[in-house]
């Protein structure tokens, strides 16, 4: 399903080289719910970016459904992100000038879905995450938890097989965090693969499988 082999990522900052990932080999089954934990700077986000096709490794390979994503072009990666992956970020990363409905329908727009179909799907998804009453609100008019639910709805708009969350509960209180994890558990029950980065062990305990990172390496699982 998702498999990384000897994944290395080195950031170059002028003359200094920062190794962010060292020889990370990992296999994630379809329909798995995985939490990645580790201290700040251990390379969790970097790994997630590789798995989510946002970035390319310095060496090594990531196989997604058997395809080595390291060999794909930028536009092919964009296509994979659009069709197979839904992202949820710590900072929500909604577009401020668009309301909830438009934010959720944006990935469908890039996928070339017709306008009516898009709005219909976006409305359904917002209803599903409990924001039926807030569809026409701008992000600035929503609470952190509501914004994160809009972001989840957006991640689901293209009906992706994989949901990737980089500290999706990092900017909300623990109660809202639990609610968000609840939604993610629900998505996992629908058969989607869910990968979540967190440094909150309480949050990680929602996941059946937890892996730890330290200094860019995977610790024993």
Ligand X SMILES: Nc1ncnc2c1ncn2[C@@H]1O[C@H](COP(=O)(O)OP(=O)(O)OP(=O)(O)O)[C@@H](O)[C@H]1O
- Would you tell me which residues interact with ligand X (CB under 6 A)? 11, 13, 18, 20, 38, 40-46, 199
- Sign for the pseudo-dihedral over CA of 161, 117, 184, 60: positive
Please, which residues have CB within 8 angstroms of residue 88's CB and are 6 or more apart in sequence?
Answer: 148, 151, 152, 155, 163, 164, 165, 166, 168
Nearer residue to ligand X within complex by CB, 11 or 76:
11
- Residue 93 binding other proteins, by CB under 8 A: yes
Please, which residues have CB within 8 angstroms of residue 21's CB and are 6 or more apart in sequence?
Answer: 7, 8, 9, 43, 46, 47, 50, 57, 216
Q: Which stretch binds other proteins (CB under 8 A): 35-43, 110-118, 127-135, 206-214?
A: 110-118
- Residue 45 binding Mg ion, by CB under 5 A: yes
Q: Where are the alpha helices (DSSP H) in 58-200?
A: 74-84, 100-110, 115-128, 144-156, 174-189
Q: How far is the CB of 208 from other proteins (least distance, A)?
A: 27
Taking the C-alpha atoms of residue 129 and residue 203, their distance in angstroms, rounded to an integer, is 19
Q: Which stretch binds other proteins (CB under 8 A): 12-20, 101-109, 122-130, 189-197?
A: 101-109
Q: Site for other proteins (CB under 8 A): which residue of 1, 10, 22, 54?
A: 54
Closest C-alpha to 218, from 53, 11, 34, 44: 44
Residue 69 contact among other proteins, ligand X, Mg ion, none, beta carbon within 5 to 8 Å by kind: none
Q: Site for other proteins (CB under 8 A): which residue of 95, 117, 144, 219?
A: 95
Q: How far is the CB of 71 from ligand X (least distance, A)?
A: 22
Task: Answer yes or no: are the C-beta atoms of 132 and 55 closer than 8 Å.
Answer: no
The contact set with Mg ion (CB under 5 A) reads 45
The contact set with other proteins (CB under 8 A) reads 45, 49, 54-55, 74-75, 78-79, 81-83, 87, 89, 91, 93-98, 106-107, 109-111, 115, 118, 154-155, 158
């Amino acid at each position: 399903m998702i498999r990384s082999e000897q994944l290395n990522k080195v950031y170059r900052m002028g003359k200094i080289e920062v190794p962010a990932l060292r020889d990370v080999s990992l296999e994630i089954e379809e329909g798995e719910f995985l939490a990645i934990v580790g201290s700040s700077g251990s390379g969790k986000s970097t790994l997630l970016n590789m798995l989510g096709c946002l970035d390319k490794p310095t060496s090594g390979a990531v196989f997604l459904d058997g395809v080595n994503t390291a060999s794909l072009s930028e536009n092919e990666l964009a296509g994979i992100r659009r069709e197979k992956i839904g992202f949820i970020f710590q900072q929500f990363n909604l577009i401020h000038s668009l309301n909830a409905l438009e934010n959720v329908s944006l990935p469908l727009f890039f996928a070339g879905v017709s306008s009516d179909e898009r709005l219909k799907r976006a409305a359904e998804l917002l209803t599903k995450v409990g924001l039926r009453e807030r569809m026409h609100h701008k992000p600035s008019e929503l609470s952190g938890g509501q914004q994160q639910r809009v972001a989840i709805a957006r991640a689901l708009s293209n009906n992706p097989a994989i949901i990737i969350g980089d500290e999706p509960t990092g900017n909300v209180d623990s109660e809202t965090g639990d609610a968000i994890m609840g939604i993610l558990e629900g998505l996992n029950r629908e058969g989607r693969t869910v990968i979540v980065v967190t440094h909150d062990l309480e949050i990680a305990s929602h996941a059946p499988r937890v892996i730890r990172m330290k200094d860019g390496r995977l610790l024993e699982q």
